[in-house]
Structure 1
Amino acid sequence: MPREPIPTWCFALVVVRKGDRFLLVQESKYGQPWYLPAGRVEAGESFVAAAVRETREEAGIPIRVTGLIRIEYSPSPAGARMRVIFLAEPTDDTPPKTEPDDESLGAAWVALDELPNYPLRGGEVVEVVTYIARGGAVYALELLQSEGTPFRAG
């Protein structure tokens, strides 16, 4: 007997670092807290492409994804959620957006010691930014591959 498919929602989250500052976006929903650039991966889109797109849409910043912080998979009876958390850097000196739109109310570069000044959506922002600021492990992007990609040694 065939099994029912498991609905899975995929998200990309991005820790964008510029020296000792990190990019936050002010969300236009959830009570307008500050969070990392993040969003759902669209059909046919890679996690890396979603990370680049979401950061550009929400913060106005072009980025280069430089590493993989963590992959999270959370199954539940109703389906599953998969989140890939990336490290990235800006590709130029474009300032964060300040004009509200459908994606966000704005964005800002924030130092670790300034985080208490921002109403954040949950403690994970402080946790992951502190992790990166203190030299936490970041993994090669090659760990995340499309199905069918050949295995190559060396």
Structure 2
Amino acid sequence: MDWQPHVTVATLVENEGKFLFVEEIKHGRRVINQPAGHLEEGESLVDAALRETLEETQWRVEILGLIGVGLYTAPANGVTYHRSSFFARPIAFCPEQKLDTDIEQAIWLTPDELRARSSELRSPLVLECLERYLRGQRYPLSLIY
């Protein structure tokens, strides 16, 4: 079998009505994304979400549950991503943690601020994940085995 999806995680972190996003450079363009990345060998999905969030935002978080799982084929490269999206709350800001090299900065945005910047989103999954969360699509971590 030659085709294999890439396993990724994303974390939606809420604090007082604002959500944590990252501005990153992809294909020479500044885009907005949730803290997200690839599952590494030996990691659980939750561990990957915790690691990626810290590496990309300098925030240590507590994963509270799952928003959903889906597939997305990126039009830019034709790669299919199997994405697990989590929701979390911030625990501590860790300024000693260096940001990943392609991350420009972490930013807190309200849902309306994100919607107003929809042309800057890395993929439609960024806003879709937020909208699902706002509609109450939240599942316990026990769903994952």
Write out per-residue CA displacement over residues 5-62 of structure 1, whole angstroms, 9 at most, x where no aligned residue: 7533210011111120000101122312111110000111111111001110111110
Structure 1 unaligned regions, length at least 5: 146-154
How far 1:121 sits from its partner (Å)? 1.7
Q: Structure 1 8/60 Cα, relative in aligned 2: closer, same or farther at 3 Å?
A: same
If each structure's strand is expressed as a fraction of its own residues, which one has the higher value?
2
Match of 2:39 among 38, 41, 45: 41
C-alpha separation in 1, matches of 2:83 and 2:3? 16
Matched, 1:84 2:81: no
Question: What does the per-residue CA deviation read over 1:50-76, in whole Å, with 9 as the maximum and x for residues that have no partner?
Answer: 10011101111101100001112469x
Higher-helix-fraction structure: 2
Report the TM-score, using the length of structure 2 for normalisation. 0.80
TM-score, with normalisation over the residues of structure 1? 0.76
RMSD value over aligned CA atoms? Answer: 2.7
Aligned-pair distance for 1:113?
1.5
- Structure 2 residue runs of 5 or longer lacking an equivalent are none
Q: Distance in 2 between matches of 1:51 and 1:89?
A: 12
- Aligned AA for 2:127? V
Alpha-carbon distance between aligned partners in 2 of 1:9 and 1:117, rounded to the nearest angstrom:
27
Residue correspondence of structure 1 range 1-154 to structure 2 within 5 A: 4=1, 7-30=4-27, 31-73=29-71, 81-92=81-92, 94=93, 101-115=100-114, 116-117=116-117, 119-133=120-134, 135-145=135-145
Letter of the 1:83 counterpart: R
Q: Distance in 2 between matches of 1:5 and 1:120?
A: 30
* Displacement after TM superposition at 1:114 (Å): 1.2
Q: Which is greater in Rg?
A: 1
